[in-house]
Amino acid sequence: MGGFIDNIGQGIESLEVRLTVNNLFDEDYASTIAPDAFWIGAPRAVAVNARLTF
Amino acid sequence: MKNTTRYNLLSLSVLAALASPTYAQEPSQTAPSAEEIEEITVVGRSVSYANNASSDEMQKQQANLSSVLAVVDNLPGVLINEGDTFGADDWSTSIVIRGFQVNLNEQQIGMTVDGIANGNSNYGGGAKANRYIDTENMQGVEVSQGTADIASRSHEALGGTINFTTLNPGMEQKLVTSFTAGEFDASKYYVRYETGEIFKDTYAWVSMSSQESTDFIDQSAENTRDHVALKFISTLSNIDFTGYVSYDDTHEDNYQRIYGLAQYEQNPDWDQLTSEWTGVPYQDQAYRRGWSTLRENLFAYLQADFSVGDVDVSTNVYYHNNEGRGDWVPPYLVDVKADGDNVGHSELVNGNTVFGGSALGQLYFVNADGQALSPIDGCQSSITFPYGGAGAQYDPACHEQGAIPVGSYRHTHYEKSRIGFNADAIWYTKIGDYDNTLRFGLWWEDYTRDESRDWHKITDSKIGFAFNNTPYWVQYDRTFPVDTLMYYVEDELDLGVARVRLGAKQFNVDIAKDDNFDADNDLNVNSDSDVLLSAGVVAPLFVDGLEVFAGYGENFAAIKDAQLERDDADLRFIEPETAENIDLGLRYSSPGFNASLTYYTIEFNDRIQFTSNETSSGIDFLEAAAGGYRNVGGIESSGVEISADITLTDNLSVFTSLTFSSSEYVETIGGTGTQYASLESALAAIADDTNPESSLVAVKGNTVIGTPDTMGVISLDWSKDNYFAGLSTKYVDSRYLDIYNASEVEDYLVSEFLCGWFY
B251-255, B461-465, B627-631, B674-678: the lowest-pLDDT one? B627-631
Query: What local confidence, expressed as pLDDT, does residue B519 receive?
Result: 85
Mean pLDDT of A6-20: 82
Query: Could you give all domains of chain B from N- to C-terminal order, each with its CATH number?
Result: 3-81+88-166 (2.170.130.10)
Considering only CB atoms, which chain A residues are within 8 Å of B181? 47-48
B178 close contact with A: CB closer than 8 A: yes
Which of B 24-43 lie inside 8 A of A, CB atoms?
24, 27-28
Distance from CA of B304 to the nearest CA of A (A): 31
Q: Is B714 on the interface with A (CB under 8 A)?
A: no
- B749 contact residues in A (CB cutoff 8 A): 25, 27
- Look at A40 and B83 and tell me if their CB atoms are within 8 Å: yes
The secondary element (H helix, E strand) that includes residue B475 is: strand B473-494
> Residue B105: closest CA among chain A residues belongs to which residue?
A34
Closest CA in chain A for residue B267 = A40
B757 touches chain A (CB under 8 A): yes
Residue type for position B592: G
| Residue A14: closest C-alpha in chain B | B759
Q: Of the ranges B81-90, B401-410, B620-629, which is most confident? A: B401-410
**Chain B residues 44-63 with CB within 8 Å of chain A:** 60-63
pLDDT of A17 above 60? yes
Q: Alpha-carbon distance B628 to B560, whole Å?
A: 12
CB contact under 8 A, B93 and A16: no
Closest by CA position to B147, among listed B689, B718, B584 = B584
**Contact predicate B686/B696, CB 8 Å:** yes
- pLDDT for res B4: 37
Contacts of A9 in chain B (CB under 8 A): none
Q: In whole angstroms, what is the distance from residue B106 CA to residue B99 CA?
A: 11
What ipTM goes with this model?
A: 0.91
End-to-end CA distance of chain A: 17
**Percent share of chain B, pLDDT over 90:** 71
Residue of B117, B577, B49, B477 lying closest to B322 (CA atoms): B117
Distance (Å) from the C-alpha of residue B308 to the closest C-alpha of chain A?
40
Confidence of residue B611 (pLDDT cuts 50, 70, 90): low
C-alpha distances (whole Å) from B406 to each of B263, B277, B278, B358, B621 are 29, 14, 13, 19, 15
Contacts of A24 in chain B (CB under 8 A): 727, 750-753
Cα distance between residue B140 and residue B132, in whole Å: 13
Contact B174 A13 (CB under 8 A): yes
Residues of A in contact with B179 (CB under 8 A): 49-50
Q: Give the pLDDT confidence of B43-58 residue by residue, as tens digits.
A: 788 888 888 898 888 8
B84 to chain A, any CB pair closer than 8 A? The answer is yes
Torsions phi, psi of B216, nearest 5?
-90, -5
- Closest-CA distance, B756 to chain A, in angstroms, reads 4
Show the beta-strand stretches assigned E in B333-472. Answer: 333-335, 354-355, 361-363, 365-366, 404-405, 408-431, 434-457
Chain B residues touching A6 at Cβ < 8 A: none
Q: Do residue A16 and residue B259 have CB atoms under 8 angstroms apart?
A: no
Name the β-bridge partners of B583.
Answer: B551, B600
Question: Whats the size of chain A, residue-wise?
Answer: 54
Q: How many contacts, defined by CB atoms under 8 Å, are there between A and B? A: 200
Task: Check: CB of residue B42 under 8 Å from CB of residue B642.
Answer: no
Sheet of B675-676, strands arranged across: B675-676, B668-670, B696-698
Q: Specify burial of residue B680 (Cβ count, 10 A radius: 0-12, 13-18, 19+).
A: exposed
Q: Is B380 exposed, middle or buried (0-12, 13-18, 19+ CB in 10 A)?
A: exposed
- Please enumerate residues of A whose Cβ is less than 8 A from a Cβ of B: 1-2, 5, 13-25, 27-54
Long-range contacts: B425-431, Cβ < 8 Å, 24+?
B425/B311, B425/B312, B425/B313, B425/B314, B426/B5, B426/B311, B426/B312, B426/B313, B427/B310, B427/B311, B428/B1, B428/B2, B428/B310, B428/B311, B428/B312, B429/B310, B431/B493
User: Across the interface, do B85 and A32 touch by the CB < 8 Å criterion?
Assistant: no
- Return the SS3 of B289: helix
Cα(B324)–Cα(B414) distance, integer angstroms: 5
Please name the amino acid found at residue B415: E
Q: According to the model, what pLDDT value does residue B628 have?
A: 60
pLDDT digits (tens, 9 = 90+) for B276-314: 999 999 999 999 999 999 999 999 999 999 999 999 999
Which comes out higher in pLDDT, residue B204 or B74?
A: B204
pLDDT at B25 over 60: no
Distance CA B664, CA B641 (A): 18
Instruction: Classify strands B593-605 and B635-647 as parallel, antiparallel or unpaired.
Output: antiparallel
Query: What pLDDT does B7 receive?
Result: 37
Please count the other Cβ atoms lying within 10 Å of the Cβ belonging to residue B266.
Answer: 10
Min distance B91 CA to chain A CA atoms (Å): 10
pLDDT in tens, B312-331: 999 999 999 999 999 999 99
Q: Is A49 in contact with B269 (Cβ distance < 8 A)? A: no
Q: Residue by residue, what is the 3-state secondary structure of A1-44? A: CHHHHHHHCCCCCEEEEEEEEECCCCCCCEEEEECCEEEECCCC
Interface test with B, best of A17, A28, A38, A44 (most B CBs within 10 A): A38
Domain boundaries, chain A: 8-53
Among candidates A16, A34, A41 on the partner chain, residue whose Cβ is nearest the Cβ of B257: A34
- List the 305-344 stretch of B: residues with Cβ below 8 A of A: none
| B612 shares contact with chain A (CB less than 8 Å) | yes
Cβ–Cβ below 8 Å for B92 and A39: yes
Residue % of chain B over a pLDDT of 70: 91
CB B288 within 8 Å of CB B254 = yes
**Closest to A33 (Cβ–Cβ): which among B24, B178, B705?**
B705
- The arithmetic mean of pLDDT across residues B258-277, rounded, is 94
Burial of B120 (0-12, 13-18, 19+ CB in 10 A): buried
pLDDT in tens, B634-674: 899 999 999 999 999 999 999 999 999 999 999 998 877 78
Calpha distance B552→B179 (Å, rounded): 46
Put simply, the chain B residues between 208 and 227 with a CB less than 8 A from any chain A CB are 216-217
Distances (CA, A) of B69 to B222, B416, B661, B727, B758: 21, 22, 22, 19, 25
pLDDT at position B621 is 72
Chain B nearest-CA distance from A35, in A, is: 6
* Cβ atoms of residues B69 and B129 within 8 Å: yes
| DSSP E strand stretches across B88-222 | 94-97, 100-102, 110-113, 116-117, 138-144, 161-166, 173-182, 186-199, 202-213
The average confidence (pLDDT) of chain A is 88
B63 contacts A47? CB cut-off 8 A: yes
Q: Which residue of A has its CA nearest to B136?
A: A51
C-alpha angle B70/B136/B168, rounded to 5°?
115
- Give the tens place of pLDDT for each residue, B427-446: 999 999 999 999 999 999 99
pLDDT in tens, B518-544: 888 888 888 888 999 999 999 999 899
From chain B, the residues in CB contact with A23 under 8 A are 750-752
pLDDT tens by residue, B584-609: 999 999 999 999 999 999 998 887 76
d(CA B160, CA B101): 10
User: CA of B70: which chain A residue's CA is closest?
Assistant: A22
Mean of per-residue pLDDT scores for chain B: 89
Per-residue confidence band for B550, with pLDDT thresholds at 50, 70 and 90? very high
Q: What is the 8-class DSSP label of residue B368?
A: T
B533-563 exposure pattern, b = at least 16 Cβ within 10 A, e = fewer: ebbbbbbeeeeeeebbbbbbbbbbbbbbbbb
| More reliable by pLDDT, A10 or B166 | B166
Q: Where are the beta strands (DSSP E) in B214-353?
A: 223-236, 239-253, 292-308, 311-328, 333-335
Average pLDDT over residues B31-35: 43
Closest-approach residue (CA) in chain A for B187:
A47
The helix (H) or strand (E) run that includes residue B499 is strand B499-515
Which B positions 503-532 lie with beta carbon below 8 A of chain A?
none
| pLDDT tens track for B447-476 | 999 999 999 999 999 999 999 999 999 999
Higher pLDDT, B301 or B695: B301
Cα separation of B299 and B419, whole Å? 10
Of B627 and B337, more confident: B337
Distances (CA, A) of B83 to A33, B86, B258, B610, B723: 10, 9, 11, 20, 32
Q: Which of B60, B93, B743 sits opposite A32 (nearest CB)?
A: B93
B18 pLDDT band, cuts 50/70/90, is very low
The verdict on a CB contact (< 8 Å) between A1 and B183 is no
Q: Considering only alpha carbons, which residue of chain B is nearest residue A41?
A: B83
CB contact under 8 A, A45 and B63: yes
- CA atoms of B88 and B606, how far apart (whole Å): 32
| 8 Å CB contact of A29 and B745 | yes
Taking the C-alpha atoms of residue B88 and residue B646, their distance in angstroms, rounded to an integer, is 33
Cβ pair A53:B174 closer than 8 A: yes
CA separation, residue B144 to residues A33, B22, B52, B110, B585 (Å):
23, 25, 7, 9, 14
pLDDT band at A6, cuts 50/70/90?
low
Provide the shortest C-alpha distance from residue B534 to chain A (in Å). Answer: 32
| Minimal Cβ distance to B186: which of A32, A47, A54 | A47
Sequence-distant (≥ 6) Cβ neighbours of residue B302 within 8 angstroms: B241, B242, B243, B316, B317, B318
Minimum Cα–Cα distance from B726: chain A residue = A20
Contact B750 A17 (CB under 8 A): no
CB atoms within 10 A of CB B421: 13
Are A22 and B103 inside 8 Å of each other by CB? no
Q: What b-and-e string marks burial along B318-355, b requiring 16 or more CB atoms within 10 Å of the CB?
A: bebbbbbbbbbbbbbbbbbbebeeeeebbbbeeebbbe
Percent of chain A with pLDDT over 70: 81
Tell me the pLDDT band of B268, cut-offs 50, 70 and 90: very high
Task: For residue B294, give every residue at least 6 positions away whose Cβ sits within 8 Å of its Cβ, in sequence order, or none.
Answer: B250, B251, B252, B324, B325, B326, B327
- SS3 assignment, position B271: coil
β-bridge pairing B161-166 and B110-113: parallel
Is the per-residue pLDDT at B269 higher than 90?
yes
Question: What is the spatial distance between Cα B289 and Cα B743, in angstroms, rounded to a whole number?
Answer: 31
Give the pLDDT band (50/70/90) at residue B411. very high
